[in-house]
Structures are given as C-alpha cells and as structure tokens.
Structure 1
Amino acid sequence: MAKRARVTVDHAYWVGDEIYTNVDGVPYLVDTGAEVSMTRKCLETKGHLTVQLADGTIKKTPFGVWKGIVWVLGPYNLMTITDLRELHGSPAGRVPLKKRLEILGAKLIQMGSTPLKWYKPVDIPEVTKQKIEESDLSPEGKKALERILSQAGVARFKNDCGDMGIKYTHTIEGGVHPPVRQYPLNPGAVAEMDLIVTELSELGVVREEPNPITNSPIQAVRKPESSGGGWRPVINFKALNRRTVANRASLINPQGTLKTLRLKKYKSCIDLANGFFSLRLAKASQGKTAFTHKGKAYVWERLPQGYKNSPNVFQSAVMDILDGLETTIYIDDVFIADDTEEDHLEKLRKVSDRLTAAGLKLNLKKCQFGQFQVNYLGFQVSNDLGLSDGFRKKVEQIDPPTSLNELQKVLGLCNYVRDHVPSYQKYARPLYVKLRNEEPEGSHKKWEWTATDQKNLENLRIAIKGALRLEPRSLTTKLVAEVSCNEDDAVVKVCNEGAGIVTMWSYTLSSVEKKYPAEEKELAVLARYWSTLKDLAQGQGIRVLTQSQVHRFLRKATVESTKATNARWGRWEDILLDPDLEIGPAQLVGKRKTRSDDTPSEPLEWTLYTDGSRKGTDKEAYWGFILKHKERERSRQRGRVPGSAQTGEVTAILEGLLELERRRVKRARVITDSYYCAQALNEDLSIWEENGFESAKSKKVAHENLWRKIAELRLTMELEVVHQRAHTQEGTHWQGNEEVDRFVQMRQVVFVGIEKWEELPKGRVVPEESVKEVVQAVHGALGHAGTVPTRRELEKQRLWIPEREVRRILKDCELCGRYNAGRRGQRVGGLTIKSTVPWGSICMDVAGPLGVPGRGGEKYLLVLVDSMSGYVTTKAVRKANGNSVVSMLDQVCGYLGVPKELRTDNGTHFRNAKVDQWCQKHGEAGRGLEDTEPKLEQKVPLQVGQRVWIKAQVGAPNAAVKAKYDKSDIVVKILDSNTVQLKKKGIQGVGQLKPVPY
C-alpha cells in the first residue's frame, strides 16, 4: 500500500465559480465542473480518495479521469482537480497519468483550515423532489424535469450567487458623493448582520477597503414573520443615486407585464437567486459603493441592491441572455408558457442551459415548474389573472396602523391590486383623506386611529376580497374602453372587444374637473389614460364608449361649453384626431331594427349604388342611383336638385330607398362614396333622431328634411351601408361605384341648327365661330373629362373638330386649370401659383407634436418646400408659433432669397401679427383681397403684402418630383410628390404638406 502523506489546503479563494488553493505551495484548481457534471454517468471510477471536508469529517470519495482531468465527487457537486504544474510543464518531464493517480490516491487532502457554515443552507435534493411533485407533468415529463434540474446551476444557501463574467460588467456613471454618517444598528440585528457581511466577503460580493473615498449608511430592516423573520441589510444609497446618471432603459411595469402575458396550458416561473450579486461592478466604480460595518469599510464588487440602476441593468442582461426565446422577464422573474408538455420541457431546458452557462443560479425554493396554475408577480395565473392566495392572506392580516408610515404601507399594498377592484377609489378615498389631513411624523400631534377609520379599512378589505379576475390583452381584437363619470369619481373599464375585462381604472376628479359638464369630464378622463390605452392597444384600434352623445361630432372644434381652458381643448383635439380612435356613446338610442343573433345570416341580393355631383359651372347638384338584383340591373334614375354635391348624395340615397320600398325590398346593401352619408346611416342618424335632429352645438342638422324621410324608410328595412372610396380600383364595389359615377356625370347636350352645317364622311364640320362653344359644352357634359373622352363624344355626335383645336380650347378651361394645372402652372387672382424659377413659390407647414421630442426638447417640425424644384428644408422647434416661423424664414431666406409667394394651410402658426409684419417688411403692400375661409374644392388667396397665403389642395399632384431634403434627428423620411411623412406614429392634428399640383 502506498505511503499516506498528509497535505493541508490553506487559504482557498474564489475567482468566479473557480476555487483556487495551494497544496504544498503548488497551486491547484478546484472547479465546479459543470461540463463534467453533464457526463457524470459516462465517467469511470478509478479509485477512492480520502478527503477531510470543511466541517472536519473524513470520508472516502470516488475519483477518476475525464479527458486528462482528475475529477472528485464532492458533497454537493462534481469537482475537478487539475495539477497546474504538471499541465504547464514540458511533455518530457510530465509525470505519467498512472503515476499521478497513485500519488494522488496516497494523499489526505484537508480543504479549509476552519469549518465554514453558510447562512441558511438549502437542502437541494429535498427541494428538487418537492418541486417535481408539485408539477402537473406526466411521469415521463417529471423524469425529464429531474434531468433538467440536475444539470442546472442552483443556489445552495441564502446568499449563494453566480458570476456573469466580464461581459456584463457595469460602470456607475456619475461623481462621488460626500460621506454620509453611519448610525448605530439595532443591537438585536448586529450578530446576524455580521454573519451576512462575512459571508458576502467570502463569496466575493463585497471586500474590505482600507482607504474608502465615501460612505453610505447600512440599515437593518426586520423581515416579516411570514418570511421566516430575522433581519435584512439595506444600504441607503440616496446620496449615490442623486449623483448617478439614470439608466433610461424602459423597465417593464409589473402591471403592464401581466396584461400582456401569453397564457397557455403549461406554465413555469423561474426565480434567479441573488441576481444582482451575479453581475460584476467595474473596479473604478466600486469605491462609490462604500459602507461601514463594525468599524470596517467595505465596497461592493457586485451590483448592489438599493442602487437605482440595478433593476434596469440586470433585466437588460437577462433579456440579452434569453434573446430569441419566447419568455416574459421582470427583473429576476422569468415566465414561460406553452401549449404542449414536450414544447414546454424543451423551452425550459434551453432557458435553464442559457442561464447556467451565463453564470446565473436558480432559487429552487421560489421556482414553479410545469404547472397549470402559477403565482407570478403576486397574482394567480391560470386561464386568467386573479389575486394569489398569499396576497389575500396579507390583506387579511393587515393590523390597524399605528403611525402615518404604516398607513402609507397599507395603502401601498392595496394599490397593487386596484386594477382588479371595481370603484377602488370610492373605498380608498377616506383613507387618503386621513393620510392628507395628518401632520407629518415628528410633529407633536398624537396619532389617532378611530373606529370610523377602522370601518373604512374594513370596507376596503371587503372590496379587495371581491376582486375580479382579469384576462391578458389580445393582440387580434380592438381595445374597448368604457368611460363613466359621476360628480366626484371616474371609472374606466378596459376590455378586449367581445371578450373579458383587461383592467379597471378609477380616480377622484379634481376640484376643477368636477365643474365640467359630462362630455368634458369624459374627455379629461380619456386624456389622463390615453398613453396607457395606446400601449395596451399594441397597434390595434381603440373604441371609447361614453355616456354623452356629442363626442361623435367632435373634430377640430369645441362643443358649446366654457368650462375647460383652450389649452385643455388643444390636448383633447390631438387625441380626437388620432386615426386609431373611435369614440361615441355606449349604446346608440334609436328605432333602428336589428336582426336577432339567433336568425341565420342570409346573403343580400339587392344592391343600391348612389352618387351625387356638382361641378364648378353647374347651378344645381346632380344625383343618381343604380339598383341591381343579383348583379343584374333593375332600375336607374337621375335628376337635379338645388344645393351642393352633398345634397345630391343624400337625395340619391332617399330616392333609392323609395325605389326599394316600391319594390317591397326588406334587406339591401347601400354603396356610397360619401363618407358623410355612410357615417350618418351607420351611426349618426340614431343620435340625430334622439336629439331632435340637432347637432352638438344645438344647430339643426344639414339636410334635416331629407334625413327625417330616410329615418322613416329605414324602419321598414334592414340596410348594410358600405363606404366605397371614389375614383380608385380598391374594394369590392369599385366597379358599381364607377358606373353610377359616370351615369351621374353625364350631361345631355342639344345642338340647335346643326342640320345647316356641312356634312363630310368624318362628320359635320363645326363652323369656326361655334367650335369653342361646342367643345366646352361637350367637355362640361362629361364632367370636365380629358381630351380623349371629349373627342370620342364628339365622334358619337357626328361632329368633326381637329384634335389640336380641342386641345387648345381645353387648355384654357378655367375649372380644369384650377384643379389640373399640369406643368404650366395655374393662376389665382392674377398671380402664378407654380413658379417657373426655383424658390419663387414655396409651401410651408408644421408637423407635431411629435411622439419623441428632440435632444433640445423640440416637439414640432417646420417644413419649407419649393413648389418648382421640390427642394425641402426643415427645422425642429420647441413651439410652433409666429416667432419660430419668422426665425426659420429669416434663416432660410438669408441664403436662398425672399420668395414671391408663400403658401400655407392658414393655421394659427402662420396667420398672426409676427408673420404679417415679416411679409410687409419684405414686400410692398398689394391689392386687398377678401379674407374668407377656403370653401370646398376651392383655394382662396389671402393677400399679405405681395405674399399670397393659399389653402393647399388635398388632391394628389399630377407630376411627382423627387424631393431633396436635409436630414435632422426628427425627420425620418420625405417621400415623392413633396409629401412629408413622419415614420413615427402618433402625430395628430397636422395634414401632410402637398403643394398645388403642377
């Protein structure tokens, strides 16, 4: 038998997960051998090694060889011992492996000079067995889970932590704060705090610092008895946090995380053990975290708790580690869900492997694996979200508060679940009143908790007992928010369309808001929660249901109320103009007949196409409809009516419904290209009936008599109204809409005396003095169509006019010149709109407020476009007003010159004294023109010196000019046709800048 030699291992130390020590002065590496542990079953035992453990016991443990490395089976895990001297020595002088094993087997190794007891050790085998039994997996799945946990890194005691390596090393940005005095600790906490600080020093989380540059006080906080009692060390980093640059990464809100969970059958929650302690702190930043304990100064080598950037930094690291895996992460809590057991175990294995490889350890006691129902962030997660049993127990155990601070803690605990409690604010308000009326602690007034206060607390406790179970936000349906207000409180119930409740909000109206009328109260509530609603909607539409009937009519004008300020109305208008918003009463009150949900849906066989039109030269509006049954035309009518094109649209619908009534049709589809008519038939007509056909401003609805008749006809039939965009080949009904449009546009032309004109094989020759009159008549009858349609109509009439004459006459058409200027430009009031030289005529507009402000707080964007060359220049400003507009004009015109024309949308940013003075300064006073608002389909020039302000036409330009542009930190993209489009979504209240066509 080989001679036994006693070898003492002194001063063992850790570097990451590796333990280094000295054996007779030779360095040896004691490694956790995670990679070796994964192949433990394949290892062959070569013998047994006598080892003295840290607690003094001596035992024989198996050892063997794996890939040239000697491994030893330790008390918790597989360890490897590598002879560094032998491995780094020359091959010639290296001791053979067999001889090395004999020498090693003859040694008694003593690890550690003194026994080391860890603070609150964890029985890993017992906890693992318990977690496997708690899972809802099949027997085969539980075996697979056991294999996954056996290969995972787990925490063996309370403060055990991993090491994420230098990749995630954090540096504290900011200066060093002055030292803060250390106050005496609670005598009962000193012993336990000493044990914890000593253990953190052994683990390399903190280290002793002989020359500290600052100090933050350490405090002992008593843990509740339900958590095992004892004390927890907390470092007061207030002074450090004030001087540290905040990490602006968006940390996920726990309530927002819960509302976007993807709930599936199998769920797991992984809790990371001491995650902050696993992330290294840069050497240069360690001195800023100094604290004092028992007269000794220590600094943190790992990320400390209480430092304001710790949650953001650690969560970002975990998200990077698990990137690509479908998980939900909130700081150190990882949620996993899958529909099948196989997929869930596979994902759980990948997550566990990544976390272990990154140097993180699992807190097995708090983990939940493969269960149908888990507790996550204090809530019970199954098919929906409800209060966990632990939280309900906490609420039941609330004792009467004995100080102002304890009352704040009670309200903080209850507020965590306020989204689940209907009318929460109603029950919590008396306690908040108590909180505000009490003087701050330190005053001479004695704290008093009355029977009334206790009754209010009991009412709040009962309300929390009846908390609702909520469901996560769906990604495929609209978000529906129902707003209701009374005299003092407001409640918002948010649901998935056609499904359950997502969340509930309630708050007490301010003293100013209480004076508002009902419609303004609802707008104030909507503005308060609008950003949260946008986040919850996740790109889907938002439907807001109100109790008032007027919101559907609000566009960019206020209702007849003087309670809210103009500033508030400005914010509300930005919300009302959001394209994702649909707002209106919760229930449309009216007599509209609806089919029962139990009645089977039948295909609609009758389709009514309607249209109305009025051109610039028409004295009356033209209307028409085409009625089809199973795609076969049954009737068509047209006529004229005094009024606008809108009047023609409504008349066409009325005449079409009368035709349906004569044919005794009960169900039909109405196709119209008028958004006004489609909106009225689908929604507004019921509200008009309820309000006596009065608008939100107590004025009579336009075309009141026509709408009254339509409302009566609608009682006897069921209508499906479809809005079809005009002049586009999009949608299902564009062909029928084009057909009725051509039918209405047709004008009958009667020529008198053409029998006297000379007739040739090509047709009758039109006399020279009548050519212009004939061409204009045909051109107008066709709705100002182009040259080719006009020529074809002349050929049908057997009239011959040379094509060049037709082109010459149509070129001078006043109406066509107004809307179809082409390359030659157009003239309004004797002034050229499209300049023939660069920077002769420019367009100006403002975009904003932007979703993301600029570096200097810029929220608006001023845009200048040259209508001749398409050159675009921009400037970001904080406010859009006369001063910012004049500043940009001075800046740009300083190097490009003063233009002859400046065109805008007549917004308040441009129509003010500042800009008027600038125009008068740079130009002579010209002819005075009438100052009126732009009419429909027209542009009205307003004279300011020689600068002409013109409402830009909305129609698309005929010629697209590629715009040049200057980049800025706000502008993302400027498209063709001089159209400025911001890629960031959420810019309301600003039309796209479109120069007059040319």
Structure 2
Amino acid sequence: MNKPRQPLVKSIAQHNALNQNVKKSNPSLIFINTHINGSRLRAMIDTGATHSFITQGAISTLYHSAIPPCDSIAQLGDGQTTLKIVGEVQLFLQFNKIFTPLNVLVVKTMNTDFILGSDWCTKNAARIDYENNQVSIRSSCGRVFIPYHKSIDCLTLDVKSINVIHIPPRESYTVQAKVELSSADTVYFSPVDPIQFEKSIVMSPSLLHINNYTTYLEVYNPHDYTYTLPMNTLLGRVTHTPYEMHSCLSFDTSRETLPLSPQHHIFNTIELEQKPSETSNTIDKLITHIKNVPEQQQLRLILQQHMKIFDISKITQANTHIQHTINTGDSLPISSRLYPRTIEQRRELQDEIQKMTQTNQIRPSNSPWSSPVIIHKKKDGGIRFLVDYRKLNSVTKKDCFPQPTTEELLHRLGGHRFYTKLDLKSGYFQLPIHETDKEKTAFITQDGLWEFNVLPQGIMNGPPTFQRTMHNLLGYGRWDYVMVYLDDILIFSHTFNEHLHHLNEILSILAKANFQVNPDKCSIAVQEIDFLSHTINEQCIKPNGDKIKAIVDLPTPKTLKEANEFLGKINWYRKFIPNFSHIAAPLHKVTNKTKHHRHEFKWGPDQQQSFDEFKRLLTTYPLFLEYPDPSTPFILTTDASNIGIGGILRQDTPNGTKINYFKSRMLDDTERKYDTIEQEALAIFWCLSELRSYIGDSDLIIETDHKPLENFHKKQINNKRVMNWLFKLQDILPQIIAVKHRPCAHNAAADYISRHFPPSTSTNINPSTAAVTHDDWPIGTDNWDEQVPKPQRTQCTPPSILEHTCTRNASINAEINAGTTRAQSKLQAQPHTSSPNASSTSTTSQSTCSSLPITTPLHDFSLSRIRSEQAQDVIIQQIIQQIRNNRRYESFIIQHGILYKLVNRDDTTIKLVYAPSKLIPEIMTTYHDHPLSGHFGTGRTWSMLRNTYYWPRMKDTVTSYIKSCDKCSQFNVNRRKPPGFLQPIKPPNEVFQVLGMDWWGPTTTSLSGNRYVLVITDRLSGYVFAKASPTNTAHDTARILMEEIILVHGSPDTIITDQGTHFKNELLQAISHLVGCKQIFFDTISSTNKWANGTMEFDIRNPNRQIL
C-alpha cells in the first residue's frame, strides 16, 4: 500500500458559521453519531479532507484488526502543520443498520477523534442538508438520513504565532496566527492564561475570522521595552461555542486607558449577540476595495468585533450623558389643530406611528403641547414623517454651541492617505430627550396625541445638541485624526496601521455609547473620499464633480431668487477660482436688492457673460488646491488696483510650485479713495487676516509690487492707516521672514486677480496695462498656463458707416441720423440666435473702444439692402428654401426675392418685412433713439414697428432695448408717491388674547337710566360682550373692563381702542400696566380710517340697527 506523502487535508470546514440560529442550526463544523465496529463514536464530516482519519486514542477504544506500522506524514492545508501517520486500518461504520466499510488513516493526535473525508463522502454519495440539519447517504434501500450531532461545543483549536513577533513598548501590534482550521466566518477566541499573566501580554477575547488557516489578533505590550514572542507561541484557543452562552471581553485601546501593568488591565464586557448573516455580508462589501489580503483581514477583524454597530435590523437608542432639552422659558403651552388627511394618508400615518411605537421612539401623550404632522411622499413611494415644530421653535431659546465651518474641516484633512466616513443611522433618533421636555415634542393625529422619546427632525437646537454629544464622545485629544459634522464622522490617518488603530478606537467608543451607523453610506479605509461637496485625497482637494454638473446644468436665471441661488451654489468654489469677486461683480450688481427693490431685478448681457464664464471655468479650469508642505515657507503674493485687491498663497517646493489658495474681493467706495500705498497695504493685511488660520505657525514670505512696502514689518511707515493695520496683525509679524519687492512684470498673477474684469466692469482700465507675455510670469510658475488664464490685449475697431436711403417715409428718413453707438452696441451684444454673424457682431461691439469719437451712421433700409441681408440670414434662408420646395407656409410669402410675414389686422391681411438679425439694431436705433422718434415708451414704439417689420419675439426685443436706454432711465422719473407701509394687526392664537373695545351711544334713556353701551369683542372667536351704562366716562370704562372681563375671563394680551378720552387716560393705562395688558390706539394703525378696527365697528352697527 502506497502511503501518502503529499498534503492530505485541504480544509476542515468551509461552511458558514453565521447561518445558525438560536437552536444552533447550520453549524460550520458538521458532526454526526456513528457506530464503528460496534462502539459509538462522534465523527466530523470534512469534505475538504482527501482521506478519513482517526486518532490512536480513539482507535484504542475499538475492536479492530492489527494495524501495520507506517511512517508517513500528512500535511494540513496551511503548509506548516503536519500529522504523523502511524498506520492504516479498515473500519465498519453503521448508520441505521446500514454498514459501510472504510479504510482510515491512524494519526497520533488531532483536534477531533474521527474525521470522515471526501473519500467516504464520494463512496456513499453523501449529501448535506443545511435546511433540515441532516446528512443523507446512498444505500440499497434508498437514502438514509443521519441528523447532526446536537453539540459541537467541545471542539477546541490552538492558535499559535507564525513568526517571531517584536512588539514595541506601550503599543498595540497586529499578530498573524495559525489555526488548524481552514476557514470559518466567526469563531470565539480566548487567550490562554500564561500569555496573559506570566508574560504580561494583553490580549482580549474576541471573534475571529479564519481564512486559509490564518487569522489576525491584536496584542498590546504594556512594558517600557520591546517584547519578543517566539515562533509557534500558544496565544489562545478558538471554539464554536454558541454566542449566547459567552461574554466577549474587548480591550479599550483609547489613549487615556492604556494599561500600564497586568494589574491595570482594563476590559469592557460586551455581551455577544447572534449577528445576522446580512451584517457579515455588509462588512465584506465595505472592504472589497482592499486588495492586500492581510490588510483586508485585519480590517475585517476590527469590523466584526464591532459588528453590532453595523447591524441596523433593530433600531437602538444611544446611551449618552447628554439629553436634549427644550428651553421655552415662561412660554405657555402651544397647541395646534389637525391638518386634514385623506383615508390613504391616515392609513400610512397609522403604520408609521405603529413602527415608531414598537421601536420606542414615541409613546402616547397627555401633553398640553401639540404640533401638527406633515407627510411627504418619497420617490420610492414611501412617506417621510415630519412634525411642524415652527410654533414650538419660535418660543425656544437658541443653543449657541459652535458648529465647525467647512473651511476648518477641509483643511484639517490635508496630507492624509486613508479615510473612513461613518454615517450615523438616523442620527437624531438615536439621541434621548430629557424626560421633562418630552411633552413639548407632542404631535397630534386623528388617532390621538403622541410624544417623542428621542430627538425628532425639525426641532430647534437639534444640530447643536448632536454636535455637543459627538464632541464629548470623540473630541478630547482626538481632533488630529477624527472630525464630526452633524451625523457624519470622518477618520483620517497617514498610514494603514495607524488608521486601523484610529478606526478601532472610534468604533469602540460608538459601540459603548450604543450608536448605529448606516452601512450603505459608509466608506472604510479609502484613499479618496467625498466630503462636504469636495473630493479629498492625499495630494489635493477639489470640488465634487456631481455638484459641478448640477451647476453647469442650471438654466439662465429669470428671477432674483434664481440668481441668488446660483450665486449661493457658485460661492462654494470661490477658493478654487482666481478673480472670483471680479467675475461675480455683475451678478452682485443685480442681486444686491432690498425687499422693496426686488422688482428692479434685470438680467442683462453683462450678467449673462458672468454666468457663462463661471460655467466655463467649472468645466475647463483645473479646479484643485494642493495641501501645504509643513517644511516649506508660504509665499503670499498680493496686488491692488482701483477696482479690487487679491492675493495668491503658494509654496515653492523641490517638486515644483504648490498653489494653496486664491483670495480676491472688490474695493468699496471708501477704499477706492485710498492712496496707492494704502490700497497695496490693504491687500496684504486683508489676505493675512483671511488666511491666518491656514498659515498657522509656518514661516511666511510676502511679495508686493509696491516698493515702499518692502520690509514694512521692520521699519516705520509714515501712514497712520497702514500702521493701524500693522498693529492689529502684530502677532503674525514674527513669522514673516521677508517682504520682497516684485516688479509688476514679475507679479502678473496677483496683478491679474486684482485687475482683470469682465468687459462690462473694466471699461475704465487701460487694456495695455493688462497685457502680459508668458515670459513676464513669476519664476517657478511655468505650469500656471492651465491654472491662471493670461489676459489678452484688446484691439479697438471703429464702428462702420452705413449709407442712407429713404425707405420708411421720405420726410422722416431724409433727416434720420441714427442715434448713438450705445444703442447699436447693446443690441449687438444680444444677437439674433438665428444669424451666423451673431457672434462676430457681438465681438465687434464689445471690442469697440469707448474712447473713440461718436460717429452718427446713416442707416439704409432700401429693398436691395433688405434683400442682401436676408440672403445672409440662416433662418430666413431656411424658410425661403422650404417654400421653394413646395412646403406650405400660409403665413409667409416671397416677393421680388424678399421674405414677408403675413398677418391679419382688422379683417385685412398685411405684409410685414421679415427683418434680418443684422438690421434689428439699426431699426431700433431709428425708431427709438432718433430725435424725430422722441424716445417713446414700449407701447408707442411697438405700435410703430408692428405695422412695418417682423422678427421673432419682437416685443421682447423692444422692451429690453428701451429698458437699457440711458436717456430714458435718466429723464423718465416715476413721479408717483410711493405707498405707505401697512401695519396689520397680528392675528391672535387664542381666545381673549386680543380684544376690541368701543362705546356705542348716546341713545334714548332706558328705564334703568342707561344711555351708553360698552361693546367688547374677541377678535379670534367673534364673541361679543355688551354692558349698558348711564355714562361713558373713563371710570365707567375701567370699572366694566375690570369687573366684567379681567376678573371673569382673565387679562387679555392686547386691547384695541380709538383715541377717545374714556380710553386714552391715566386710569386705563395704570390698569393695563397692572395686569400686563398692551393698549393699542388707532393712531398707531390708521389715524383717519375707523375701519382699522373693522370688527369692532361691525359689532357696534348691529345693536344700533336692532334698537333703533
């Protein structure tokens, strides 16, 4: 018999250990009971073993034939562990009276007594039924079913170190260990006592993942010296004991609690619970991007130790020391009425309430507070449950706990390689509310009143409370590798091992506080991450591509709101775009409107050009900023003009120039009057103040093109304003190495930022001063061609002169001298989209120098000119071609080679010349700007044009042109008096909160001697109170008000009366002050209109009509 010399055992178990439930179904190791040669023995089925094995100890208890001696070795699948074979014997296995012979190899020792390998499985056609927990084999009588053995807890496997381990002092170390088990998703590890107490090496019981006979453990060395563990050191043992019968000890590796000696070992007992297989699959998905197998195993080990955090099958409530409070001061409870609901909405609301009740998020309430519920439909068909807490928020005192800024968060991430983002699952719902404030969160539905046990969405001070909670949990001593923004936690590290340590620490803290994360929104140990609309990696920070696409796809704003929304979106990217403030200046010009001037919003060609320029920069400009190099000083290059100031922060490193930041802004009216030295100094000090937190303690070199400011930090400058700025920033002066003078020719980048404007805002700048050649750029900035666009020299082109021919009316056109080049340039800046010459026309008009003398051109509107221009218009030629191809166009006609538009006017069809796009500016100049046209308004100009010419959207063109006319804007002043401001009375929220009061009479004396009636009306309910009196003096008013109203119904908040002496007197003022009531007279509402208190006047009219 040939004895095997090659490896015989490939695996011990390949089945999922996490598929078992509480009844221990589907174990990863399968054991069955069998009778071998008449004796009972438990066998383990291993389909990965090529042969079947039995130990000498087990064979000694059986009746068997003689075992021929053998000296062979079987090797396990790990390539290291060997089994010494002492012989081979034939055994007879009995299953339900079915006998099967089997040749079995005898070994000295093994982790289990008997293994049935693939030889037995193949011979008997064995099938494993995981669903019913049984094994079936083939026999002559059919298949025989063998149930699993009920207990597999006694199997114990040794865990030994593979290599020599050198553990640094007071540090954790990840150890690679071997197990005589090929694979297992989860096994329970328990360290042996000698490694813990004799060698004083700290290890914690934990759950391990075994793959290819290998696993990874976390070991901590508490000594002050490096400790060495030899190869094959027994570290502990693993078992498959059911989870609910054990407790797992996890070692707290936070900085404050690292153990210093065996007596100071600090453990936290965490009860292990059965984890669903979905959570394990989720963890595997989170680490699939890790290609390095050992690193992936280490990461899996940490995540599985904190598997509870990723298990979202059951909603939990965080265990924190901070509970959300709602401080409403002395405010009385506020209640709201129900919002109407359909039957379907009510059913959906009931289901949502039932879910939240089962998870203990809400409970029934008897609160005097109540807020209505809002239901929003989601895209997936579900509902979003919200409560309208606006009234509650209005009486809640604001929590001013600081929120981190985006700039602060992003710049702390610089230079790190590994990132993990944890998104807390329903972050607010995990925070508890203080017991005394739960009643204030009450909400009302058709089925009752409920209140929250956890922090709901939409309530004031939710973000500060959440930020405070996370700050207390994670903030102390950890801000150099973790940051929190609302419900996002970001962990960042320089190396992978460092990242494992940081991740394990944060997950331990979250698990202890009973927080859960949303696995679908988490990213684990990635090298590039999206955070706060930016993409961050080790080299640089850049805007998120999806956010840029959302801006690029925006249509042209048509309203003030849309323009402000665009500015808000684009403002995210100002640090990436040089000259941002200058490009945005036309947009700010039309959006900087107060509430009463919103109607003045007008979107013109300047704004469109700025809008298009931003879109172009977002799609073509290399939008990224590089992180600073801490070993290299910063260089701040600044410049100023009479328009704005700007600066560039960079570093000249051996690997090239790093661009760190762009800063620029416009000068206000006062700053434009500064002297040159003050403007240049302002550019320096403003950039320093804005970038102070970014520069930190690093050395700094300042470059300016203003010679008098050279080394200003070391000398006295005879300018009070500059010295004041210098005094305010004196704490940063020691960091300034030098202030160098850089001539304008070598300061082009900063000069460009401070001077370059869109054409509409830079007309007062000499174009020659902005021209820069590539050779003039600063040293070390040869690669800036793709970062800072170089300004181009502007060429001036004189306007064209057109001949004059009378076409409209001989008496008028004989004296037409077409207006001004202003009107022509404005319309050419808005060319007809159908004309191929539109772009060239616009370019010509924009490049025309305003300094040229104005020439009055003569416009030619002859038929030959119209025919010639129509022949060059693309849209007109398309229509003419389709008409000639027998296409029916009932609204167009061609006569003498000219296209006319046919329109019906007063039951008559008339012909209108289809005006080519090139003639439209000349037509508008003639019909509006010419002295004989009189600068009429839109209506009269339109009425003159509509009977002669036609072009698409002609009325819009006329309206836009006249609105842009400078003379019309200057002389057509609105002489109407603006309406006054309305002062409405705020509607009351409760009955008897606001009362109206007035006297009715005198009338005929009653039998009781009464001639007057004091009428008091509640403005909310309409309830009317009337009391008769012989007189209507101030004393009578005060007596009735006190005795009949205040002492019976309570004091109102406000009383509205007229200015009669019975109301406006010291007695009533004293009573109002005493009871805390505010008195309002008509003079504060309307001094002439009695119907300002219309409800009161209506109620007085009724008794007047009924009595008289």
| Structure number with larger C-alpha Rg | 2
Q: TM-score, normalised by structure 2?
A: 0.38
Q: Which has the higher contact order (CA 8 A, sep 6+)?
A: 1
Q: TM-score, normalised by structure 1?
A: 0.42
